Structure 1
Amino acid sequence: MKPGSIAFRLSLLLAAFSVFAAALASHYTFVTSRSLLRERAEHYLMTTTEVLGRHLQSSLQAVSRNAVTLAALAAAQGALEEHAGEPVRRTLAQAFAAEMDSHPDYLQIRLISAGAHGLEQVRVQRQPTGLQRVLDAELQEKGHFPYVFEALPLPAGQVYMSELAATRDEALAGGGDLPSYTLSAPVVHNGHALGVVVIQVAARPFLQGVSADLPDGFQLYMSNRWGDWLMHPDPSQTFGFDRGQRVFIQDSFPDAARLINGQSQQLVTSVNESGGEPVVAAFVRLPIGSEPEQRFWVLGLAQPVSAIEGEASVLGRSIVQVLLLLCVAALVLAVLVSRVVTEPLKALAQATRVLGTGQRVQALPIERTDEIGELARSFQLMEEQVWQQMTQLRTSHNAMDHLAHHDALTGLPNRRMVEARLAQALQRAEHTQRPCAVLFVDLDHFKNINDGLGHDVGDAVLRGVAQRLSQALRVGDMVGRLGGDEFVVVCQDLGGEEDATQLALKLKAQFDQPLLIEGLPVQIQASIGIAMAPRDGTEVRALLTRADMGMYRAKQNGRNTYSFS
């Protein structure tokens, strides 16, 4: 082929056009794919933040339920009535201590009367040496605190929640600078509030528990309704208001001011925090406390921009490699100028369009041994890499979805899924007119296993219990784990109370034989509370509460037994 000839000039023109077209298509594919990856990553970040927010609210609701349950127990035992004596208060103190044993983040639980200027009647507190009941001479008047006078007007079943603040009581475990919050529930008898049950919770263990299951690479943030940091990757930024300095979320993330002033409920923003690596952050506004108070927390997750766009870089390198191969193929095609070469080129162009639409490429001339075949195989490799990356994203999303509905230790449904399944069972019971039951299973003396044999053995025991309970269920029933050593069994289509009793006996029989943990036999016993629908209620939370009360009654009856609510 002579320079200056038509063939030569046509070859140059075809080669230049092919290279230009390949570069343009590659650039468009890269820009479009990078934008899609960025949008998907931001959506995943926001979804993860919302899931974490629901987990946080669920944890707060669990503490609220405990406060309501203890208030109901105090009302049922008449602990604040005039005839109540020391035996009643001692029994209630034992119940408080048992609750604090199950929740190491609880600092103290108190029963405060409405009269006598809010005099404490029972107080159990966590000290460095262990749990201690405060003697009558050391009980104090607390009527001037908001958790007393704001909780008393509330109806039964509702709670008051304080802001997070530093604890100033040096006698408590953790010292005087331990951040905590307080929840209180009224003790109502015959429509009158006789007092309140108050639970004080250490904030840091609670917040660390909320973020314990976050994947690597995520940064967790949380602020109060004024913007003061409650959680931050730099611990020195948190709880500044208790040290005489205010460190606000608006200083690091200016757009977060829209959440603080109520202009938005969620946002995704990008900033260079403290002059460091750019990050992408997703924030949601989480209401807390009662609605009239309009209090809230701001919860957020952040990732470095480099982590989010890392897959785009890999995709860019793959596109550059393919572009180089396309340039080589364009030169070959320009020289040959034949139908044998142009047809595969059309096939590759068609494959590029198909890949741009998100579909799999079906037919490529990979069997060829020339440059076109090499180009086709490289294109196929790029396609596999893109699909592999998209599959990894979907897998990560599915894993987060599974984490949102299942317990990470046992694989059983978590509280959220249990409540959804119980709601379905209640609808079915209403339709079929056949009752359903909730069995609340709580392991007896499980703390002794953790303390004596270690938490690894305790975790193995929980997995073993989950397996045994699952094996004992009928088809259509479900067992879930609420947390700690608490399990819930939802049974439907029962004939009556006798069927529920048989189910409880069947579950109890699962604990007759000890569990073998690393060759070591571990004997487990459980107390079971039973609530029936519609007899004990037709609402999810009401049934769970009644079943929980039945479980406590079983423990009071000597443990290793069952009791109806």
Structure 2
Amino acid sequence: MIKLGLTSRLSILLVCIGVAASGATGYYAYRANRAMIKQEAERSLLTSTQLLDQRFTAALGDVAVDVLVLATSPSAVAVARGDEKSGGGRLRLEQVIVGFMVHHPEYLGIRLIARADHGLERLRVERGAQGVVVVPDSELQEKGQFAYVFDTLATASGDVYVSPIGLKRQAGSNASNGKPAMRIGAPIVDANGSKVGVLVIDIDLTQVFGRLERDLPGGYLVYLANEWGDFLIHPDPSQTFGFERGRRVLMQASFPATRPLFDGGPANLTFHARAGANGTPAQAFAFVRSPFGKVDGNRFIVLGLGRPLTNVLASANALGSQIVRMVVISSAVAIVLATLFARALARPLRALAHAATHVFDDAHVERLPVSRSDEIGVLARCFDRMRHEIRVQMKTLQAKQRELTHLAGHDTLTGLPNRMRFMEQLEASILHASHSGERLAVMFVDLDGFKQINDQLGHSAGDRTLVVVAQRLREALQGADLVARLGGDEFIILASDVRSPEAIDDTADRVRTAMGEAVTLGAHCMTVGASMGISEFPIDGDRAEELLAKADAAMYVAKTSLHRRHVRYQELVANEPSAQCDEISRQA
């Protein structure tokens, strides 16, 4: 499994934050713009609906004016009374009515009904398959039993009656072939103020709304319902006038959001519907409640417009594409910036990590960001102080270690190597000489007059004497030779690269001369002297202990001799029997 470093993880985190932020911003900008476009479409649709309602009301007002014009004409009064059976007044009225029918294609018919004779029609002009025709007198009917007749007669002079919107069926047709229609009528009043009849115009609402819809953009859908919610106009004709067919189709059932309009709520509302599963697009709707008529049974109508949101949301979708491109670009920028920022942030951390792993490596120490004022700067300064303290402590420990190592291998009084250190060096020299063919000499030195100095002048004088002797021995030897103190007044010398016996004698003479010099101890001047035994590698042995023992044996002989101050072990071998030499070695 790949383990990501801090830079990679920080880069990924910052990239995720940047992409999420830009994506969320773009998404909510798209959603907000889409919602604003929908709201604007609904407001625009509501304005169009209100304008359509006003124009519909104005159209009905124009019809009412026509009704009043015809009802108040002198010919209408005469025809309603039946005064002229065949005269110029009836003919003129017919011509006027025919003219109105020709210029108003929404008029299905105009009739003049007398109050007398059970509401007998005196004049009826209809729009049929052959155009506008005047119905013969033989086909005129009694209409006094219809509500629109007696309701119009009950209307005050100068006012008009507006009927409920119903289904106008042509003669011989069924209910499914009818047209949504309504009647507007006015009473005919004579000079005495008596109502002698009514004049009624039948209006084809399909024609009215068809004319009004011409001013609307394409794709608008018109809905109209009565006060109970029955659809009177619907894009699907099968949904209209359900009460005429025994199956009511209510607006508040098809559009539940419109229910407040029928329950006394606000006079207008807007809403939108989502796209349907059957492929219907999302739509915006606006509905307006408008007063209608002046008699019971039709107090108001609800007029509505619907509009598909496909074209409306096209701009939002285009903006969405732009937002996606912007999000992609901003995400790419976020990736680059996050990578650069993560590297910049991790660089001082890497410097700290490198410094932590190279605390004692001065050659590879990077400059820490101690000048920064942020948390990384605080960390760098703390680490720098810690590194300095560690270095100081390590230097102290190393000094102590060197001191302990020196003490472990050297004599504390004279500073010379001790027996352990000397034996290590002797073994190493023997190993080296075994390969190189060199010769070595081991000189065992024992001070002759040290006991008298110690007894007469005290231990402090003895210690000073040992220090002076050690210094003189160092000075008497060559650079490669080694002198060590074995203990008490015994010293041992390792002479390296001895090329001849004469070289050994020269070294021994220098040591004897150095030991023969007087040592000043306060007011006393004492002579020390020394006895030396010498063993050689490889002729006297090839082991360190063996060479030391034989040098000790030779020193013992020199110390007991009256005339010789140094004795070589080889001299003992040449002058004494072998058994005696072995005994001397064992005694040593």
TM-score range, shorter chain: 0.5 to 0.7
Quote the Cα distance in structure 2 between the aligned partners of 1:335 and 1:214. 56
SS in 1 for 2:26: helix
Q: 1:249 aligns with which of 245, 248, 251?
A: 251
**Which string of whole-angstrom CA distances, capped at 9 and with x for unpartnered residues, describes residues 197-222 of structure 1?**
11112232233223233322322222
TM-score by length of 2: 0.51
**1:93 aligns to what?**
94
Counterpart in the other structure of 1:70:
70
Letter in 1 for 2:332: V
Q: Corresponding residue for 1:110?
A: 111
The 5-angstrom pairing of residues 457-476 of structure 1 reads none
Determine whether 1:283 maps to 2:294.
no
Paired residues for 1:223-262 under 5 Å: 223-262=225-264
**1:326 Cα deviation (Å)?**
1.3
**C-alpha distance after superposition, 1:525-557 (max 9, x if no partner):** xxxxxxxxxxxxxxxxxxxxxxxxxxxxxxxxx
Distance 2:9 2:260 in 1: 62
Deviations along 1:247-291, one digit per CA (max 9) or x if unpaired, are 222331123232233333222234469864343322111222126
Q: What is the aligned partner in structure 2 of residue 125 from structure 1?
A: 126
1:319 is aligned to 2:323: yes
Change in CA separation of 1:25 and 1:133 when aligned onto 2, cut-off 3 Å = closer
Q: In structure 2, do the counterparts of structure 1 residues 128 and 22 end up closer, same or farther at CA, with 3 Å as the change threshold?
A: closer
Give 1:20 deviation, angstroms.
Answer: 4.3
How far is 1:151 from its partner?
Answer: 0.9
Say if 2:225 and 2:231, in contact at 8 Å, map to a contact too.
yes
Secondary structure of 1:302's partner?
strand
1:325 aligned partner, one-letter code: I
| CA spacing shift, 1:246–1:27, aligned 2, 3 Å | closer
- SS state at 1:52 partner: helix
Matched, 1:208 2:213: no
Q: Deviations over 1:328-369 (max 9, x none)?
A: 2234445667xxxxxxxxxxxxxxxxxxxxxxxxxxxxxxxx
Structure 2 counterpart of 1:52: 52
Q: Structure 1: how far apart are the matches of 2:25 and 2:168?
A: 62
Listed as ranges, the matches of 1:297-376 within 5 Å are: 297-334=301-338
Q: The residue matched to 2:117 in structure 1 has which SS?
A: coil
- SS state at 2:244 partner: helix
Matched, 1:38 2:38: yes
SS across alignment from 2:72: helix
Aligned AA (1:193):
K
Alpha-carbon deviations, 1:78-107, whole Å to 9, x = none? 444575453211111111111111112322
Superimposed CA distance per residue, residues 461-510 of structure 1 (whole angstroms, 9 cap, x where no aligned partner): xxxxxxxxxxxxxxxxxxxxxxxxxxxxxxxxxxxxxxxxxxxxxxxxxx
- Cα distance 1:12–1:131, how it changes in 2: closer, same or farther (>3 A)? closer
2:183 counterpart of 1:165: no
Q: Do the aligned partners of residues 275 and 114 (structure 1) sit closer, same or farther apart at CA in structure 2, a change above 3 Å counting? A: farther
**SS, match of residue 59 in structure 2:** helix
Please state how far the C-alpha of 1:321 moved relative to its aligned partner. Answer: 0.7
In the alignment, the residues of structure 2 paired with residue 152 and residue 243 of structure 1 have an alpha-carbon distance, to the nearest angstrom, of 30
Q: Which runs of 5+ in 1 are unaligned?
A: 338-565
- Equivalent in the alignment of 2:266: 264
Structure 1 contact 258–264 (Cα < 8 Å) conserved: yes
What secondary structure sits across from 1:59 in the alignment?
helix
Residues 77 and 88 in structure 1, CA contact (< 8 A), matched pair in contact too: no
- What are the Cα deviations for residues 29-68 of structure 1, in whole angstroms up to 9, with x where unaligned? 2232222222212212222221222222222222122111
CA distance in 2: counterparts of 1:151 and 1:304, whole angstroms? 42
**Cα separation, partners in 2 of 1:90 and 1:175, compared to 1, 3 Å:** farther
Distance 1:41 1:138, change over 3 A: closer
Residue type at the aligned position of 2:156: P
1:199 corresponds in structure 2 to 201
- SS of alignment partner, residue 316 of structure 1: helix
- 2:42 alignment partner AA: E
Cα deviation digits, residues 431-488 of structure 1 (max 9, x gap) = xxxxxxxxxxxxxxxxxxxxxxxxxxxxxxxxxxxxxxxxxxxxxxxxxxxxxxxxxx
Once residues 59 and 160 of structure 1 are traced to their aligned partners in structure 2, the CA distance between those partners, rounded to angstroms, is 15
**Structure 1 residue 245, shift from structure 2 partner:** 2.6
Per-residue deviation, 1:22 = 2.8
Count of residues in correspondence between the two structures: 334
Counterpart-to-counterpart distance in 2, 1:175 and 1:108: 20
CA distances 1:132-188 after superposition (whole Å, capped 9, x unpaired): 22333332222221221111122233211222333345289x997344321111122
1:473 aligns to what?
none
Distance (Å, rounded) in 2 between the aligned partners of 1:83 and 1:184: 22
147-156 or 95-104, which deviates more: 147-156
Task: For 1:203 and 1:294, locate their aligned partners in 2 and report how far apart those are by CA, in whole Å.
Answer: 16
Over aligned residues, Cα RMSD in angstroms?
Answer: 3.3
Q: Give the counterpart letter for 1:37 in structure 2.
A: I
Equivalent residues in 2 for 1:170-189, closer than 5 Å: 170=171, 177-189=178-190
Aligned to 2:145: 144
SS in structure 1 at match of 2:145? coil
324-333 or 229-238: which moved more?
324-333
> Are the structure 2 counterparts of residues 302 and 29 from structure 1 closer, same or farther at C-alpha, using a change threshold of 3 Å?
same
Q: CA, structure 1 residues 74+149, in 2 after alignment: closer, same or farther (shift >3 Å)?
A: farther
Query: 2:180–2:232: 8 Å Cα contact kept in structure 1?
Result: no
Q: Which amino acid is the alignment partner of residue 326 of structure 2?
A: V
In structure 2, the CA distance between the partners of 1:41 and 1:111, relative to structure 1 (3 Å rule), is same
Separation (CA, whole Å) in 2 of partners of 1:229 and 1:310? 31
Q: Distance in 2 between matches of 1:175 and 1:18?
A: 63
Name the aligned partner's letter for residue 31 of structure 2. Answer: V
Given that 1:67 and 1:197 are in contact with CA atoms closer than 8 Å, whether structure 2 keeps it comes out as: yes
Name the aligned partner's letter for residue 187 of structure 2.
P
Instruction: Name the structure 1 match of 2:540.
Output: none
* Contact 1:166 1:176 (C-alpha < 8 Å) held by counterparts: no
Work out the CA distance in 2 between the residues paired with 1:207 and 1:39: 26
Q: 1:177 to 1:41 in 2, by over 3 A?
A: closer
Residue 116 of structure 2: SS of its match in structure 1?
coil
1:114/1:274 Cα in 2 relative to 1: closer, same or farther (>3 Å)?
farther
CA contact (8 A) 1:179 1:202 kept: yes
Q: Identify if the C-alpha distance between structure 1 residues 68 and 334 changes in structure 2 by more than 3 Å, giving closer, same or farther.
A: same
Check the 8 A contact 1:127/1:171 in 2, yes or no: no
Consecutive unaligned residues of structure 2, counting only runs of 5 or more, are 342-588
Structure 1 residue matching 2:304: 3-state secondary structure: strand
